Amino acid sequence: MLHKILEPYNIILASASPRRAELLKLLGLEYTVRVSNVDEPENDDEPAQQAIRHAMNKAVAISLNSGERDMVIAADTIVVLDGRILGKPEHEDMAAHYLKQLSGREHIVITAICVSVNNRLVCDHEQSRVRFAELSDTEITEYVASKEPMDKAGAYGIQGLGSQFISEIEGCYFNVMGFPIHKFYRLVNALRQEGLL
Amino acid sequence: MLHKILEPYNIILASASPRRAELLKLLGLEYTVRVSNVDEPENDDEPAQQAIRHAMNKAVAISLNSGERDMVIAADTIVVLDGRILGKPEHEDMAAHYLKQLSGREHIVITAICVSVNNRLVCDHEQSRVRFAELSDTEITEYVASKEPMDKAGAYGIQGLGSQFISEIEGCYFNVMGFPIHKFYRLVNALRQEGLL
């Protein structure tokens, strides 16, 4: 199990997301948070590739200053609708617009995860489908007024008030929350089997 | 949204489960917990029917003493493998045995939910599929030693250390956690549309 395998390591979470920190706690892991100032310009790459690139940049920026027993974990989550990435909304109107687009439909959430340890960097990503209920205009207005959508990719939080609008997911729930726990478990086990941990 | 619709009601959670309480908090709802001492004998009913009957019994036991502005919420969660219900393990060997059965396979989680308000009782249930990774004997031993499996149907908690073993779910994550939030949202909206709230 993760808390046994990772006991000898100083885990450094290269992310300011309180949700990711919460999930590391769930796993019984101790960690410190160290956040880099990496720019995240979008380009024409496939959505999954963009997420991986962003997570890689975050991991590399922090691991450059890390020690031998440090394990740096970075992640990047994107919401994709019709092949288009919905980022964090810049203002309330944009949040309402995003929610209107998601209403009654299925979208994809991709989280890329990178683990850097002993001068190695391994990355992978997870993809889940999320189905939203039909939202009324009142519901959208009330939800935006709650401020919850404002700091979240796709303008919703599955682990908050947004939970009531999600009728179904297919894949990893924690991936939608921003950190694909089972994928992380597999990355760590793979590193161990290769003798790198 | 739920916290707006339910503002005039005193919500009574007829369950001692800290996970259900946590999910009501997630929804921004205030509530009090009132737990009944209902026996839960198993019988030959279909699993979903058994869950509904248990949730009903819990809701009825509490709502008998409730007032006009009280809304009683009860739920019952069961884990079903090959048509057989896996309850809470009675001892560590049973937990290990359950986990061995779940390893590398898919099972079903059913949560029945009942809402009682204004002398009405409405019930429904939600069903999700959960896929477990292959677990090694060491992992099972370590997980049982963590004690997490002991008070949980099916001997695992998706919102704890158990999260690392879950490769995929299909359906409502919160249902697996013990309270199907979207189903609750739909029950409440249905009650409102019928003019009962």
Chain B interface includes A165 (CB < 8 A): yes
Spatial distance between the Cα atoms of A59 and A73, rounded to a whole number of angstroms: 6
- What b/e sequence results for B53-89 when a residue is b if at least 16 CB atoms lie within 10 Å of its CB, and e otherwise? bbbbbbbbbbbeebeeebbbbbbbbbbbeeeeebeeb
The number of C-alpha atoms within 13 Å of B121 and in the hemisphere containing its C-beta is 18
Chain A residues whose beta carbon lies within 8 Å of the beta carbon of residue B139: 1
- Which residue in A173, A176, A179 has the most chain B C-beta atoms within 10 A of its own C-beta, making it the best mutation to test that interface? A173
Contacts of B93 (CB under 8 A, 6+ apart): none
Report pLDDT for A68: 87
Return the HEC string of A29-51. CCEEECCCCCCCCCCCCCHHHHH
B118 three-state secondary structure: coil
Do B181 and A159 lie within an 8 Å CB cutoff? no
Chain A interface includes B145 (CB < 8 A): no
Active site residues of A: 76
By Cβ distance, the residue of B26, B164, B169 closest to A163 is B26
* Minimal CA separation from B39 to chain A, in Å: 31
Spatial distance between the Cα atoms of B115 and B74, rounded to a whole number of angstroms: 7
List, as one string, the DSSP characters of chain A: -HHHHTTTSEEEE----HHHHHHHHHTT--EEE----------SS-HHHHHHHHHHHHHHHHHTT--TTEEEEEEEEEEEETTEEE---SSHHHHHHHHHHHTTSEEEEEEEEEEEETTEEEEEEEEEEEEEPPPPHHHHHHHHHTSGGGGSGGG--TTTGGGGGEEEEEE-HHHHHT--HHHHHHHHHHHHHTT--
Range of the domain at A60: 2-193
**The two structure tokens encoding residue A185:** 């478990």
* Minimal CA separation from A107 to chain B, in Å: 14
Contacts of A74 (CB under 8 A, 6+ apart): A14, A15, A55, A56, A58, A59, A62, A113, A114, A116
Report pLDDT for A188: 96
Alpha helix (H) residue ranges in chain B = 2-5, 18-26, 47-63, 92-102, 137-145, 173-177, 181-193
* CATH number for position A101: 3.90.950.10
Per residue in A104-119, pLDDT tens? 999 999 999 999 998 8
Count of pairs with CB atoms under 8 A, one residue in A, one in B: 95
Kindly tell me the number of DSSP H helices and DSSP E strands found in chain B.
7, 7
pLDDT at A38 over 80: no
By Cβ distance, the residue of A2, A160, A165 closest to B26 is A160
Confidence of residue A62 (pLDDT cuts 50, 70, 90): very high
Number of domains in chain A: 1
Chain A interface includes B42 (CB < 8 A): no
Q: Judge whether B13 and B116 are in contact, CB under 8 Å.
A: no
- pLDDT tens, N- to C-terminus, chain B (197 residues): 999 999 999 999 999 999 999 999 999 999 999 998 876 667 778 999 999 999 999 999 999 888 889 999 999 999 999 999 999 999 999 999 999 999 999 999 999 999 999 888 999 999 999 999 999 999 999 999 999 999 899 999 999 999 999 999 999 999 999 999 999 999 999 999 988 88
Spatial distance between the Cα atoms of B107 and B154, rounded to a whole number of angstroms: 10
Spatial distance between the Cα atoms of B71 and B10, rounded to a whole number of angstroms: 6
Spatial distance between the Cα atoms of A1 and B136, rounded to a whole number of angstroms: 10
By Cβ distance, the residue of B159, B161, B168 closest to A172 is B168
What are φ and ψ of residue A20, in 5° steps? Answer: -65, -40
Report pLDDT for B44: 77
CA torsion through residues B116, B182, B78, B80, sign = positive
Report pLDDT for A43: 74
B33 three-state secondary structure: strand
Report pLDDT for A65: 82
Complex ipTM over 0.90: no
Q: Judge whether B61 and B14 are in contact, CB under 8 Å.
A: yes
What are φ and ψ of residue A10, in 5° steps? Answer: -90, 110
**The two structure tokens encoding residue B178:** 């013990």
| Least confident among A2-11, A36-45, B23-32, B61-70 | A36-45
Report pLDDT for B118: 87
Do B182 and A167 lie within an 8 Å CB cutoff? yes
Q: Which residue has the tokens 């998601």?
A: A102
Greatest Cα pair distance in chain A: 55
Report pLDDT for A176: 96
Judged on CB neighbours under 10 Å (0-12, 13-18, 19+), B184 is buried
- Taking CA atoms, what residue in B is nearest to A29? B161
pLDDT at A156 over 90: yes
Spatial distance between the Cα atoms of B68 and B31, rounded to a whole number of angstroms: 15
